[in-house]
Amino acid sequence: MRLSRTLTILIFFMITVLVSLGSAQIVDDFNRSTLGPNWTYDPEYQIVSNTLDNTSTATSNGWNYVAVYNAVTDPFDVSFKWAPSGDTEGVNSGGFAMLLNAASVSANGYFIMRRYGSIDLNPIVNGNVDRTITIDTVTPSRPNPAPGNTIRVVFRTDASAYYFDFYINGALDGTVRDNRTSRPAIPTPHYSGVCLYANRNNNIDDYTVRAQSITVTSPNGGEVWLVNSNHSITWTSLDFSGNIAIDLSTDGGSSWSSIVASTANTGSYSWNLPGTTSTTCRVRVKDATDGNPADVSDANFEIAPETEDIRVIAPNGGENWVINTQQEIRWYGTTIIPYVRISYSIDNGATWIQIIASTPNDGSFMWTVPAPLTDQALIRIADAIDSLPTDDSDATFSISALVTLRIPNSSGQPGSTNNIVNLWMDNMTNVRGVSLKITDSPNHLTAANVIPTGRASGFTVVKSENGTSVTIFMVHMSGGVISQGSGPIAQISYDAAGGATIGTYSTLDMSSVTISDANSNLVVPELVSGQFHYVKIGDLDADNDVDIDDINRAVDIAMKRGAPATTYELLCGDLDHDGDLDMFDLLAIFDLVY
C-alpha cells in the first residue's frame, strides 16, 4: 500500500511537471529568503513569510516601484494569489505590470489593477505607475477580490488594440484595452511584473507566468535547398494559435523579405524557393499581427543553384551502426541527377565495396549493415552514370556488433593438463543462448571440461569433443540470460599433447556460432579468434630451464619494479590465468624451482 501511494504521488508529480512544461508555465512560490536573480526590483520589495511584500523602506508609499520578473520573456498570461494574511484595502492596492519594455525598475509599460468597483488600465512611465492617466476603465462583473483569491491577466491583441482580460479565481471579471495609440508596437522582448502599494497588507504568493513561443524546425541550419524548388517550412508553437507570417533573409538575418504576410498556424507551409542563391539564408516565423512571438532558424541554410551536386548527409562521421540492422543512408543530390550509386569502405577509403549500382536520387536508401566490424567506415554517393559528382562521408563511422565473442591468448606446456582458456563475451544486449565450435590447428589440444563462469555462472553447458574440435552449447534452464556487459562466460580446460613443440602455437578458431537474445532473436556476432602458445611453464627467460633467474624476474614483475611483463613472460608466468603475473604466480614459480 505504501509503495502504491508513493508511485501515485510520483506519477502525479511527473504529470504536473509535464503539464507545466507543455504550457510554458513558470511558478514562483517565494519560498526562500531573498528574491534572487530572476527578479529585477527596488529594495522595497522583500520576501516576508514566503510571500512578496513592498515593505517601503523608502519614504514614498505610492505607486513608484515595480518588481520585474526577468526570467521569462514575452509573457501573455500572468497571475498571482493574494496572501490570506491580507485585508480588503490591501487586495485593492496592487496589480500587474505588463508589456514592460525592459527588465528594469525604470521600464515603461502598462499597469492593470482591480480597484474596488473598477478595473483600471494606467501607463507605467520610467518605473512609476501614473494613476493620473486612465487609458481605460471598466466596471467589473464579479464581487471584489478577497485575501486568498487568485487574480490573473491575459494579454491578447489584434490590428486595432491591446486587450487585457482580468480574471478572479478563474472567472472573467472584465477587459480593459488600449487602441495602440501610445504604443503602436509591442516591445521585443517584453516582461511582466507587479506593482504593490507600499505599507499595506497586500503580500502576494504563487506568481505564475505563461509565455507564447514559436520554434522554427525546418530549415533550421545546414540544409541545402535548390533555387525554384519546393520545400516545407515547419515550426512548432506553444500557447499561440493566431496566424503567422514568414520572412526570408539571405544575409544571415541582417535584412528580411516577406515569404507570406499571413497564413494559418498549422506548423507547415509549402514554399516555392526564389531563383536567388545564397549560403547565408535564414527563415523567420512570427505572429502575423505584431511579430511576437517569433523565431529564426538557428543557423544558416543554403539556397543552391540547380547544378550537379551530391552531398552525403548520413552517416557523415562518428555514427555507430550495428551489423545486420537496417540503417538509412541519406544524401542531398540535385534533381538533374536521376540515379546514384552507393558504395562503402571499411578502410577509410583505401578500397570501396558497392552497395547498389543504381538507385533513384531521392535522398534515402535503407541498408542492411554487413560485417566485418570496423571503425574506419565511409559511405560514398556518386552519379550512377559517370560517377561525377561524388561525395564521401566527412569522417569515418563505426560498424559494430551487439555481441562479440573472443578467445584471449593463453598458454600451456606440452604434455600438461588443465590449461585454462577463457571464452569472453562483450554484449550490448541480453543473451539467452550460445552455441559454437572451437577448432585448434594443428590438433594438439583436447577440451577436457567446460565450466560456465561470470555472468553465465547459472547456465547449463553441454560440450562435445571429437578429437579436433569442441562444440559447446550454453543455455539457462530457467530462462535466465547473460546480462549486458563484458567478461568471461566460460572456462575451457584443455589438455596439451606431449608432441607439441615449445615456441609454437595452435590457433583457436570459432565457427558454427549461434547466439540468441532475450527474445530468442538471432544475433550476428563479431568473432575474435585466439592462440594457445606452447611454452615451458615458469621459464620467463626462455632458456629452457626454470631457475633462480626466473624467480628474480617474477619478483620484479610482481613488485612492479623495472620493465613490465612482456607478452611472452605473461604466457609463461601467469599460472593462475588471471591476466597478470602477481604474487600467486611468483609462489607457483618458486615451487617449480624448489
Q: Which helix (H) or strand (E) holds 548?
A: helix 548-558
Which residue in the block uniquely carries the three cell numbers 507545466?
20
- Mean pLDDT over all residues of the chain? 91
In this predicted structure, the answer to whether residue 572 has a pLDDT above a threshold of 70 is: yes
Q: How confident is the model at residue 142 (pLDDT cuts 50, 70, 90)?
A: very high
Dist. CA 28–CA 49, nearest whole Å: 14
pLDDT given for residue 57 in this prediction: 59
Cell representation of residue 497: 599433447
pLDDT given for residue 389 in this prediction: 93
* Rg of the chain taking only CA atoms, in angstroms: 38
Q: Are 558 and 564 in contact (CB under 8 A)?
A: no
Asked if 213-304 and 403-534 have one fold, the answer is yes
Q: Model confidence over 115-131: pLDDT tens digits?
A: 999 999 999 999 999 99
Dist. CA 500–CA 533, nearest whole Å: 10
Which CATH number is correct for 310-400, 1.20.120, 3.30.2310, 3.30.450, 2.60.40?
2.60.40
Phi and psi, residue 61, nearest 5°: -110, 25
Dist. CA 297–CA 536, nearest whole Å: 70
% of residues, the chain, pLDDT over 70: 95
Close Cβ partners of 71 (under 8 Å, ≥ 6 residues apart):
26, 38
Dist. CA 593–CA 257, nearest whole Å: 90
Q: How confident is the model at residue 449 (pLDDT cuts 50, 70, 90)?
A: very high
What average pLDDT does the segment 277-292 reach?
92
Give the CB-side neighbour count of residue 403, counting CA atoms within 13 A.
26
Burial class (CB in 10 A: 0-12, 13-18, 19+), 148: middle
Partnered with residue 540 across adjacent β-strands are none
SS3 sequence of 486-553: EEEEEEEEEEECCCCCCCCEEEEEEEEEEEEECCCCECCCEEECEEEEECCCCCCCCCCCCCHHHHHH
Give the CB-side neighbour count of residue 187, counting CA atoms within 13 A.
18
Please, what is the Cα angle at 79 between 75 and 84, to 5 degrees? 160
Q: Model confidence over 480-509: pLDDT tens digits?
A: 999 999 999 999 999 999 999 999 999 999
What average pLDDT does the segment 40-65 reach?
84
Q: Model confidence over 167-198: pLDDT tens digits?
A: 999 999 999 999 987 777 888 889 999 999 98
SS3 7: helix
Q: Are 30 and 43 in contact (CB under 8 A)?
A: no
Dist. CA 407–CA 346, nearest whole Å: 24
Crossing angle of helices 583-593 and 548-558, rounded to 10°: 170
pLDDT given for residue 91 in this prediction: 94
In this predicted structure, the answer to whether residue 329 has a pLDDT above a threshold of 60 is: yes
Q: Which CATH code fits 213-304?
A: 2.60.40
Dist. CA 206–CA 573, nearest whole Å: 72
User: Is the whole-model pTM more than 0.85?
Assistant: no
Cell representation of residue 189: 522582448
pLDDT given for residue 252 in this prediction: 95
What average pLDDT does the segment 553-566 reach?
92
Q: Which helix (H) or strand (E) holds 311?
A: strand 310-314
pLDDT given for residue 127 in this prediction: 94
Which CATH number is correct for 403-534, 1.20.930.40, 3.40.1670.10, 2.60.40.680, 3.40.50.720?
2.60.40.680
Q: Are 259 and 249 in contact (CB under 8 A)?
A: no
In this predicted structure, the answer to whether residue 88 has a pLDDT above a threshold of 50 is: yes
Partnered with residue 462 across adjacent β-strands are 473
Q: Are 152 and 78 in contact (CB under 8 A)?
A: yes
pLDDT given for residue 22 in this prediction: 38
What average pLDDT does the segment 293-307 reach?
90
Going from the C-alpha of 137 to that of each of 133, 164, 276, the distances in angstroms are 11, 11, 52
Q: Which CATH code fits 23-211?
A: 2.60.120.560
Higher pLDDT, 306 or 21: 306
Give the closest residue to 421 by CA, choosing from 510, 340, 346, 481: 510
Give the closest residue to 105 by CA, choosing from 39, 183, 35: 39
Cis peptide before 372 (omega within 30 of 0): yes
Q: How confident is the model at residue 16 (pLDDT cuts 50, 70, 90)?
A: very low
In this predicted structure, the answer to whether residue 283 has a pLDDT above a threshold of 50 is: yes
Please state the domain extents for the chain: 23-211, 213-304, 310-400, 403-534, 548-593
Dist. CA 98–CA 78, nearest whole Å: 9
In this predicted structure, the answer to whether residue 19 has a pLDDT above a threshold of 50 is: no
Going from the C-alpha of 7 to that of each of 3, 4, 11, 16, 93, the distances in angstroms are 6, 5, 6, 14, 43
Give the closest residue to 593 by CA, choosing from 523, 541, 532: 541
In this predicted structure, the answer to whether residue 17 has a pLDDT above a threshold of 70 is: no
